[in-house]
């Protein structure tokens, strides 16, 4: 195994089933990542009764989060061509299309079809790495909560660099495994769940990762986010009792957005140099 952030081959066991790079501290799931099948993992079941209880019912929460992320991006890039990797149902692209000419890539065909049908967005259900995109085409590329899912995030970053224009902006979010919350919770940290999350960045390894691939880090922030009551209760004791859970899930307040900031999610803005 070679570290995707710094190229080191020296790893040590971390939290029993993860591997930590001895050089830069980047952490990877101890799996053969070449065997992961993204089409199978990220089917519609992933978005309904999977990692997300119901992605569509929680639209209002996602849109609140995406509006905040869009506002941050607009401070660095206000218009032009924007590409989103992992665009899901198109909630972000739909909002971004008021400012940008947009294109999305989403591996789940059902989610891509939803975006095309409901928002008339150009969302392609193919792997971004296999796409035929001209170099120096985009002013901005975004990856919201995506990079931790990718078996080869270094390959995605190389391609991202090539499709961005000179001084183009990359914006992404991902968990920070060096955060206070992650350190306190250890292996119980909610963002550790291979095989869907397979890369765990620290603030330091993220900076190394981006610099290694030709990006200048402009900003790293730790914004809060909105989650629905039902999503926050997923996996809790309440969720284990079917009668109580049915009552909660059908209640009028199940979809109520709750703002939370555990300071363990990085929002990164970088520029191609």
Lowest-pLDDT range of 50-54, 111-115, 178-182: 50-54
Predicted local distance difference test score (pLDDT) of residue 51 = 85
130: left (phi over 0), alpha (psi -120 to 50) or beta: alpha
With 0-12 / 13-18 / 19 or more C-beta atoms within 10 angstroms meaning exposed / middle / buried, residue 79 is exposed
Predicted local distance difference test score (pLDDT) of residue 12 = 96
- Phi and psi, residue 89, nearest 5°: -85, 0
Predicted local distance difference test score (pLDDT) of residue 233 = 78
- ω before 195 within 30° of 0 (cis)? yes
Lowest-pLDDT range of 5-9, 200-204, 226-230: 226-230
How is domain 11-272 classified at the architecture level of CATH?
A: 3-Layer(aba) Sandwich (3.40)
Predicted local distance difference test score (pLDDT) of residue 235 = 60
**What percent of the chain has pLDDT above 90?**
83
Average pLDDT of the chain is 93
Comparing 236 with 156, which gets the higher pLDDT?
156
Mean pLDDT of 240-244: 67
Predicted local distance difference test score (pLDDT) of residue 160 = 98
Structure tokens at 211: 């610099």
Lowest-pLDDT range of 114-123, 152-161, 193-202, 248-257: 248-257
Predicted local distance difference test score (pLDDT) of residue 253 = 81
Nearby residues of 269 by Cβ (< 8 Å), 6 or more positions away: 72, 73, 76, 169, 170, 171, 217, 218, 219, 220
Q: Evaluate whether 99 touches 79 at the Cβ level (below 8 Å).
A: yes
Q: Predicted confidence band at 143 (pLDDT cuts at 50, 70, 90)?
A: very high
Predicted local distance difference test score (pLDDT) of residue 49 = 79
The angle at the Cα of 234, spanning 233 to 238, to the nearest 5 degrees, equals 60
Predicted local distance difference test score (pLDDT) of residue 245 = 62
CB burial readout 98-122, b (16+ within 10 A) else e: ebbebbbbbbbebbbebbbeebebb
pTM above the 0.85 mark?
A: yes
Predicted local distance difference test score (pLDDT) of residue 56 = 95
The angle at the Cα of 99, spanning 94 to 103, to the nearest 5 degrees, equals 55
177-215 pLDDT, tens digit per residue, is: 999 999 999 999 999 999 999 999 999 999 999 999 999
Query: In the chain, what are the domain boundaries?
Result: 11-272
Please say if the pLDDT value at position 108 is more than 90: yes
């Amino acid at each position: 195994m070679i570290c995707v952030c710094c190229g080191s081959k020296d790893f040590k066991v971390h939290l029993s089933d993860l591997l930590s790079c001895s050089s830069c501290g980047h952490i990877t799931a101890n799996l053969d990542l070449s065997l992961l099948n993204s089409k199978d993992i990220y089917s519609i079941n992933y978005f309904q009764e999977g990692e997300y209880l119901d992605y569509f019912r929680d639209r209002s929460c996602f849109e609140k989060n995406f509006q905040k992320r869009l506002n941050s991006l607009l401070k660095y890039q206000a218009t032009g061509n924007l590409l989103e990797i992992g665009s899901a149902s198109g909630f972000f692209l739909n909002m971004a299309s008021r400012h940008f000419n947009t294109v999305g890539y989403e591996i789940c065909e059902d989610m891509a079809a939803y975006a095309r049908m409901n928002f008339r967005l150009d969302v392609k259900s193919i792997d971004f790495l296999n796409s035929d995109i001209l170099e120096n085409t985009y002013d901005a590329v975004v990856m919201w909560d995506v990079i931790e899912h990718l078996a080869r995030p270094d390959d995605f970053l190389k391609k991202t660099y090539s499709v961005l224009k000179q001084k183009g902006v990359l914006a992404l979010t991902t968990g920070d495994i060096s955060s206070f919350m992650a350190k306190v919770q250890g292996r119980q940290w909610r963002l550790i769940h291979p095989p869907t999350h397979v890369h765990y960045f620290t603030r330091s390894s993220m900076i190394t990762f981006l610099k290694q691939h030709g990006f200048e880090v402009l900003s790293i922030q730790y914004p809060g986010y909105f989650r629905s009551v039902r999503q926050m209760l997923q996996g809790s004791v309440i969720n284990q009792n079917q009668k109580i859970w049915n009552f909660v899930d059908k209640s009028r307040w199940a979809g109520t957005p709750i703002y939370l900031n555990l300071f363990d999610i990085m929002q990164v803005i970088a520029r191609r140099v």
